[in-house]
Amino acid sequence: MTSVQGTVVDIPTEDGVADAYLTHPAEGGPHPAVLLYMDAFGLRPRLEAMADRLAAAGYTVVVPNVFYRARRAPVLDLPEFIDAAARPAVFEALGPIMAQLTPEAAMRDAGAYLRWLESCPAAADGPVAVTGYCMGAGLSLRTAGTYPDRVAAAAGFHGGRLATEAPDSPHLVAGQVTAELYFGHADDDPSLPPEQIERLEKALTEAGVRHRCEVYPGAGHGFTQSDTDAYDRAGDERHWEALLDLLNRTF
């Protein structure tokens, strides 16, 4: 297996400095870049391990702490394993932090992350790929629509609220997307009910976006996160196959 080199970096933004985890193959390079958006539980060992797995496949990966306005990672003192008993307290603490990250602020930050990758010696020239988890899936879609000249592929897994009736719903950027998209939806996910899945599919199809949206049977919201009780091994491995297929097609 390819050895990787990971480190913490600081990314200047219009609103401050975002700490991030950067990882890439230890030898060779530069490598195609991937911007990985965290879930709500934040930048932590599980996401670093996921980034390292992508790096071992030949990519330079950066995982920003999108909650940097609150504090550097870890933003919360999380338990080693997040189960149903821990969730209420965690989300109570996360509420005001998540509220700070408006779509406008998130996309200002996305521009900063992409500019930083342009000057990163470990990242190859040219467009990047984006992937995101839970809330990060929406950020992935928004980034593809906001910066179409910089994003060649974007993926999202167990995303929530991707196609609501709100005037700033993520799916409304479909008309600006030029990247190839892939979404792996959780099965029976209250944050992404069937009507939102249909609305997302319709918007992407009508906009002529190259895309595939799949529901993973039996996999609940958060199925890629092995440090939570939502983890589903089969769904996680299917996600890796789909993501690496997308990246291989793109780069």
Catalytic residues: 134, 189, 221
Q: Phi and psi (nearest 5°) for 226?
A: -75, -10
Name the packing angle between helices 233-250 and 45-56 (round to 10°): 40
Contact 30, 122 (CB under 8 A): yes
Which pair of tokens denotes residue 32? 């195609």
The partner residues of 13 in beta bridges, in order of sequence, read 16
What CA–CA distance (Å, rounded) separates 77 from 124? 35
Exposure string of 29-46, with b = 16+ CB inside 10 Å and e = fewer, is: eebbbbbbbbbbbbbbeb
Task: Return d(Cα 139, Cα 159) in angstroms, integer.
Answer: 9
Distance between CA 146 and CA 148 in Å, rounded?
Answer: 6
Can you tell me the distance from the alpha carbon of 187 to that of 35, in angstroms, rounded to the nearest whole number?
25
